[in-house]
Amino acid sequence: MTAVDALQTALAAEHAAVYVYGALGARTSESASPLLFAEVANAYRTHRAWRDLLTRRLADAGAQPTPAAATYELPPPTRTATAVARAALDLELACARTYAYVVAETVDDDRRWALSALTRTAVRETVLGGAPAVFPGADDLG
């Protein structure tokens, strides 16, 4: 696996995260759950920025960035703030596994970015109700 392959994997995960967070934002009420709404909106902005960063990084490396799919699998319909938070937590757990993989497969600036993304994802997991992990994204090491 090359660093470009790892970054392509991360880009594919970011496309999915942006799509799913867009749907979760539509299922969240700013007036009824302002803290959750703010976290979902923040996560959407962050994942969109990471998607754009990865797209530029891959293009700069001479690679054709992985395009977004037409659609992605959404979590089951969520009718409560708790269900939205759980869906967001599941998404962050999946992203953490991707970033842990990118950390293992890259060096230098790419690894630093992936480690930063993994750290921010681990923090977001706890905000969304997840338990802190010894090695976020690497369940087999914990």
Mutual angle of helices 34-60 and 3-26, in 10-degree steps: 150
Residues in Cβ contact with 90 at an 8 Å cutoff, skipping those fewer than 6 apart: 75
Query: How much is the pTM?
Result: 0.93
The region, left, alpha or beta by phi > 0 then psi within -120 to 50, assigned to residue 63 is: beta
Residues in Cβ contact with 70 at an 8 Å cutoff, skipping those fewer than 6 apart: none
pLDDT in tens, the chain (142 residues): 899 999 999 999 999 999 999 999 999 999 999 999 999 999 999 999 999 999 999 999 999 999 999 999 999 988 899 999 999 999 999 999 999 999 999 999 999 999 999 999 999 999 999 998 877 877 665 5
The DSSP code for 99 is H
Which of 19, 26, 10 lies closest to 73 in space, CA to CA? Answer: 19
How far is 37 from 25, CA to CA, in rounded Å?
7
Architecture of domain 3-141: Up-down Bundle (1.20)
- Every domain of the chain and the residues it spans: 3-141
Residues in Cβ contact with 81 at an 8 Å cutoff, skipping those fewer than 6 apart: 28, 29, 32, 33, 36
How far is 125 from 77, CA to CA, in rounded Å?
21
